[in-house]
Amino acid sequence: MSNPVLNIGICGFGTVGQGVWKHLSANRARLESRLGVRLNLARAAVRDLRRPRDVRIPGRLLTDDALSIARDPSIQIVCELMGGTKAARQVTLTALRAGKVVVSANKALICEHGAEIMAAARRHGGHFFFEASVAGGIPIIKALREGLVANRFPRIYGILNGTCNYILTRMKEQNAPYAEVLADAKRLGYAEADESLDVDGWDTAHKAAVLAWLAHGVWVRTDQMIVEGISRLTPADIRNAATLGFGIKLLAVITRDFRRDELSVRVHPTLLPAGNVIANVNGVFNAISVSGDVVGTTLYSGRGAGRDATASAVISDIADAASLLRHGKGAHLLGEEPVGPSRCRLAPPESIRGRYYVRLTVKDQPGVLARVASEMARHRVSIATVIQGPADRPRAASLVLTTHESDERAIGHTLRRLRSLATVLEEPVLLRIGDFAS
């Protein structure tokens, strides 16, 4: 008896789509032997039928109508690799309503429409796989949904954007300004022409929303998070951090206080102790620390983006989808609610506690530090250390302060007061200090 054929349609044939086609074709025999099915790359949807591509496929397999793949009754697995949210949402919902399996790498789609997508999968008997949407080739979603299913997660944090990590690494290693490194990153293809999604923190925020839902069953919108990027960081900040015994990384931080039943999701540059493992993850790599109440802390690191890393995660989901369709394995993991309890509220600012780094550019005159200290004390923000030095502008000085533990409400009030001082010449730079155990 011959193995059944599973037809696969790919919607979106850019960098990732071509990578999936290439690697799935190369490894098809091995995968088919393990899964007991035949995997047929049936069709691919593209924006422009005439555009040349690195991966060549027969023209008869190409279409410029992605919905036709979602509707095709002969295609059981639809890979949504289009990017964006409007057309991708339509393709995803159409396929799920037809009872198909959808494999997606689209974190923005999941962040904005995840609840609707999961509901459609449950209602119509479809299934939704999305390992490639977070951290590229790192199997973090499988870890949360399967390997760590016995755990509750008080803290998940890590580097989820390779572009930002590359920029910060170069700034540190070469003492180079942000704008110069960003220009190099664009030339090398590590940053998009419009870099704002990456460097302003939004790409990381979309991924953090997916992880928060997986771990805690709550969809947190990006406007409910603290989201800050890296564009105001300078080589001086990186040198100051090193002097204090820290490195700087753009982190997603997801914390759950189970006693208060409060959840916090944040994205911001963070000072990590130099000995912290994630502080030493450099270049385009991602790294995630997951603290479980049963297992303790586990760490995951690897390439977080690019054709091959993302294609690896997509093909892993295709293999799981094939196993599900062939043997019925894994059905309980797809379209169901996540592992964590979902009854919690978002933490108010006063519940989000930590230490802070504040850099001020001030007039170089006597009494300025005393005035700054007075304003901070007024809001019960206590200064731990002070570094004074010259600023990049004439007749100005740089004040770098670290604080003892405070909270987001108090530090927010403090910064608003500091901005209003005539002696403060520029917008203050605020960074969080990550006092994590690993």
Q: Kindly state the tokens that stand for 381.
A: 């923000």
SS3 246: strand
| Strand bridging mode 345-346 / 285-292 | unpaired
Does residue 329 have an active-site annotation?
no
Question: For residues 72 and 91, is the Cβ–Cβ distance under 8 A?
Answer: no
SS3 257: strand
Q: Kindly state the tokens that stand for 39.
A: 């995997």
Residue among 100, 107, 172, 207 flagged as catalytic:
207
Q: Kindly state the tokens that stand for 172.
A: 């540190």
**Contacts of residue 140, Cβ cutoff 8 Å, sequence gap at least 6:** 134, 211, 288, 290, 300
Q: Kindly state the tokens that stand for 272.
A: 């990590």
The residue type at 91:
V
- Bridge partners, residue 276, by sequence: none
Distances (CA, A) of 264 to 29, 221, 296: 45, 11, 20
| Strand bridging mode 396-403 / 406-407 | unpaired
Q: CB 315: neighbour CB atoms within 10 A?
A: 22
Which residues are catalytic, by number?
207
